[in-house]
A = this chain, B = another copy of it.
Amino acid sequence: MTKVIFKTKNSFLSLLRIKYTYTMFSNSSKYAIKAVLFLAVNSSENHRIMGKDLAAPINVPQAYLAKLLQELSRGGIISSKKGPKGGFFLSKENALHTLMDVVNVIDGNDKFNSCLLSLEKCNADKPCPLHDLASPSRSKFIQSLNQNTIDEFSTQIEQGKVFLPL
Protein backbone atom coordinates (compact mmCIF):
# COMPACT_ATOMS: atom_id res chain seq x y z
CA MET A 1 0.00 0.00 0.00
CA THR A 2 1.35 3.35 -0.96
CA LYS A 3 0.88 6.12 1.52
CA VAL A 4 1.03 9.65 0.21
CA ILE A 5 0.84 12.69 2.39
CA PHE A 6 0.14 16.06 0.80
CA LYS A 7 1.89 18.68 2.81
CA THR A 8 2.39 21.63 0.53
CA LYS A 9 1.92 22.50 -3.08
CA ASN A 10 5.62 22.04 -3.66
CA SER A 11 5.84 18.61 -2.17
CA PHE A 12 2.93 17.60 -4.35
CA LEU A 13 4.68 18.89 -7.44
CA SER A 14 7.84 17.10 -6.49
CA LEU A 15 6.00 13.81 -6.90
CA LEU A 16 5.74 14.61 -10.58
CA ARG A 17 9.44 15.17 -10.97
CA ILE A 18 11.63 12.34 -12.01
CA LYS A 19 14.49 11.98 -9.62
CA TYR A 20 17.76 10.20 -9.38
CA THR A 21 18.56 9.16 -12.89
CA TYR A 22 21.99 8.12 -14.03
CA THR A 23 23.19 11.19 -15.81
CA MET A 24 26.46 11.91 -14.07
CA PHE A 25 24.94 15.15 -12.84
CA SER A 26 23.48 15.64 -9.41
CA ASN A 27 20.02 17.09 -9.31
CA SER A 28 21.50 20.26 -7.94
CA SER A 29 23.88 20.57 -10.85
CA LYS A 30 21.14 19.89 -13.36
CA TYR A 31 18.98 22.55 -11.80
CA ALA A 32 21.88 24.96 -11.71
CA ILE A 33 22.77 24.37 -15.34
CA LYS A 34 19.20 24.92 -16.41
CA ALA A 35 19.01 28.11 -14.40
CA VAL A 36 22.25 29.47 -15.76
CA LEU A 37 21.34 28.72 -19.35
CA PHE A 38 17.93 30.27 -18.88
CA LEU A 39 19.53 33.39 -17.53
CA ALA A 40 22.01 33.40 -20.37
CA VAL A 41 19.20 33.52 -22.89
CA ASN A 42 16.65 35.64 -21.07
CA SER A 43 18.46 38.09 -18.84
CA SER A 44 20.97 40.89 -19.09
CA GLU A 45 22.63 43.53 -16.95
CA ASN A 46 19.51 45.66 -17.11
CA HIS A 47 16.91 42.97 -17.41
CA ARG A 48 17.16 41.05 -14.22
CA ILE A 49 15.03 38.08 -13.30
CA MET A 50 13.71 37.32 -9.85
CA GLY A 51 14.25 33.93 -8.31
CA LYS A 52 10.58 33.15 -8.22
CA ASP A 53 10.15 34.01 -11.89
CA LEU A 54 12.97 31.70 -12.75
CA ALA A 55 11.71 28.66 -10.91
CA ALA A 56 8.54 28.11 -12.92
CA PRO A 57 9.89 28.06 -16.50
CA ILE A 58 12.66 25.63 -15.67
CA ASN A 59 10.49 23.52 -13.38
CA VAL A 60 12.58 23.62 -10.26
CA PRO A 61 11.22 24.01 -6.72
CA GLN A 62 11.34 27.68 -5.89
CA ALA A 63 12.94 27.47 -2.46
CA TYR A 64 15.55 25.02 -3.57
CA LEU A 65 16.43 27.08 -6.60
CA ALA A 66 16.83 30.12 -4.39
CA LYS A 67 19.56 28.36 -2.51
CA LEU A 68 21.31 27.28 -5.66
CA LEU A 69 21.17 30.77 -7.09
CA GLN A 70 22.83 32.07 -3.98
CA GLU A 71 25.64 29.58 -4.29
CA LEU A 72 26.09 30.41 -7.95
CA SER A 73 26.15 34.07 -7.14
CA ARG A 74 28.69 33.60 -4.38
CA GLY A 75 30.75 31.52 -6.77
CA GLY A 76 30.81 34.24 -9.37
CA ILE A 77 28.87 32.24 -11.93
CA ILE A 78 25.91 34.58 -12.03
CA SER A 79 25.32 38.18 -10.98
CA SER A 80 22.62 39.65 -8.82
CA LYS A 81 21.20 42.84 -7.48
CA LYS A 82 19.32 43.11 -4.22
CA GLY A 83 16.26 45.15 -3.43
CA PRO A 84 13.28 46.27 -5.49
CA LYS A 85 13.82 45.85 -9.22
CA GLY A 86 16.60 43.50 -8.28
CA GLY A 87 17.14 39.99 -9.48
CA PHE A 88 19.61 37.67 -11.13
CA PHE A 89 21.34 38.06 -14.46
CA LEU A 90 24.38 37.01 -16.44
CA SER A 91 27.04 39.56 -17.17
CA LYS A 92 29.23 39.23 -20.24
CA GLU A 93 32.01 37.89 -18.03
CA ASN A 94 29.67 35.42 -16.35
CA ALA A 95 28.78 34.02 -19.74
CA LEU A 96 32.41 33.16 -20.35
CA HIS A 97 32.31 30.44 -17.75
CA THR A 98 31.94 26.79 -18.67
CA LEU A 99 29.35 24.31 -17.51
CA MET A 100 32.10 22.59 -15.60
CA ASP A 101 32.51 25.79 -13.63
CA VAL A 102 28.86 25.55 -12.74
CA VAL A 103 29.06 22.01 -11.43
CA ASN A 104 32.29 22.76 -9.63
CA VAL A 105 30.56 25.49 -7.67
CA ILE A 106 27.55 23.35 -6.88
CA ASP A 107 29.05 19.93 -6.28
CA GLY A 108 32.72 20.61 -5.67
CA ASN A 109 35.69 19.92 -7.89
CA ASP A 110 37.22 16.82 -9.36
CA LYS A 111 34.21 14.65 -9.84
CA PHE A 112 34.86 13.55 -13.38
CA ASN A 113 38.32 12.09 -13.44
CA SER A 114 38.18 8.52 -12.36
CA CYS A 115 37.54 5.11 -13.75
CA LEU A 116 33.98 3.87 -14.05
CA LEU A 117 34.62 0.94 -11.77
CA SER A 118 37.77 1.40 -9.81
CA LEU A 119 39.24 3.84 -7.40
CA GLU A 120 42.21 4.54 -9.61
CA LYS A 121 42.42 7.10 -12.31
CA CYS A 122 41.07 5.86 -15.57
CA ASN A 123 44.00 4.36 -17.40
CA ALA A 124 44.18 3.32 -21.02
CA ASP A 125 47.17 1.07 -20.40
CA LYS A 126 45.35 -1.01 -17.85
CA PRO A 127 41.73 -0.50 -18.86
CA CYS A 128 38.85 -1.82 -16.84
CA PRO A 129 36.21 -3.87 -18.66
CA LEU A 130 34.13 -0.78 -19.36
CA HIS A 131 36.92 1.51 -20.40
CA ASP A 132 36.80 1.04 -24.16
CA LEU A 133 33.06 1.15 -24.12
CA ALA A 134 32.86 4.43 -22.31
CA SER A 135 36.07 6.28 -22.19
CA PRO A 136 36.59 7.83 -25.63
CA SER A 137 33.19 9.44 -25.77
CA ARG A 138 33.28 10.22 -22.12
CA SER A 139 36.45 12.23 -22.32
CA LYS A 140 35.10 14.11 -25.30
CA PHE A 141 32.01 14.97 -23.32
CA ILE A 142 34.01 16.11 -20.33
CA GLN A 143 36.22 18.14 -22.58
CA SER A 144 33.35 20.14 -23.93
CA LEU A 145 32.01 20.68 -20.47
CA ASN A 146 35.38 22.23 -19.78
CA GLN A 147 35.77 24.19 -22.98
CA ASN A 148 32.45 25.41 -24.34
CA THR A 149 31.37 28.63 -22.72
CA ILE A 150 27.90 29.34 -21.48
CA ASP A 151 27.79 32.00 -24.14
CA GLU A 152 28.31 29.40 -26.83
CA PHE A 153 25.53 27.25 -25.47
CA SER A 154 23.16 30.18 -25.33
CA THR A 155 23.93 31.03 -28.95
CA GLN A 156 22.93 27.50 -29.92
CA ILE A 157 19.70 27.92 -28.03
CA GLU A 158 18.98 31.26 -29.67
CA GLN A 159 19.59 29.73 -33.07
CA GLY A 160 17.01 27.09 -32.30
CA LYS A 161 19.50 24.29 -32.64
CA VAL A 162 18.96 23.04 -29.13
CA PHE A 163 16.27 23.57 -26.53
CA LEU A 164 16.03 24.42 -22.91
CA PRO A 165 14.20 21.62 -21.20
CA LEU A 166 11.62 21.97 -18.51
B-contacting residues of A (Cβ < 8 Å)?
A: 17-18, 20-25, 30, 33-34, 37, 59, 99, 111-120, 126-134, 136-138, 140-141, 144-145, 153, 156-157, 162-166
Contact assessment for B156 and A129 in the assembled complex, using a CB-CB cutoff below 8 Å: yes
**What are the residues of chain B within 8 A of A131 when measuring CB–CB?**
162
Dominant secondary structure at the A interface: loop
A166 to B121, CA, bound (A): 11
Shortest beta-carbon distance, A165 to chain B, in Å? 3
B25 touches A129 (CB 8 A): no
Q: From known contacts A137-B138, A141-B133, infer whether A166 and B111 are also in contact, taking CB-CB under 8 Å.
A: no
For A113, A140, A163, the residue with the greatest tally of chain B CB atoms inside 10 Å of its CB is A163
Q: Which of B17, B119, B162 contacts A18 (CB 8 A)?
A: B119
Contact of A23 among B24, B34, B137 (CB under 8 A): B24
* Residue in B18, B24, B33 whose CB lies within 8 Å of A114: B18
A115 to B165, CA, bound (A): 9
- Selected contact of A134 from candidates B33, B59, B116, B141, CB within 8 Å: B141
Say which residue of B20, B137, B164 sits within 8 Å of A128 (CB atoms).
Answer: B164
CB distance from A13 to the nearest CB of B (A): 11
